[in-house]
Amino acid sequence: QKEVEQDPGPLSVPEGAIVSLNCTYSNSAFQYFMWYRQYSRKGPELLMYTYSSGNKEDGRFTAQVDKSSKYISLFIRDSQPSDSATYLCAMTHVGAGNMLTFGGGTRLMVKP
């Protein structure tokens, strides 16, 4: 079983929809949780970063962490065609240094 699980999609939604992307993990040591966005033929770029449990909001994006359930989510409000990309969750802990463990990525398509 992989340490971090993520539904590969593709997830197709109409423009303006609320999107929910999720990851589950098995290692309770993870403390830092990230969401990367990867456009086609590009490298991943950091989108959101959260520490421990709780919510963090940045514009249309909200990252949510539930450590008790080992479950993290990324919500996108008022989704736009430009949000079409693959979203990768990643996580780490102090003992792992800078080593990130990635989920497999979810491909999102927002249709006009």
Residues that bind other proteins (CB under 8 A): 4, 6, 8, 32, 34, 41-46, 49, 51, 88, 90, 92, 94, 97-100, 102-105
**Per-residue buried b or exposed e for 94-112, using 16+ beta carbons within 10 Å of the residue's own CB:** eeeeeeebbbebbbbebee
Give 17 or 49: the residue with its C-beta nearer to other proteins.
49
Q: How far is the CB of 27 from other proteins (least distance, A)?
A: 14
With respect to other proteins, which residue has the nearer C-beta, 14 or 43?
A: 43
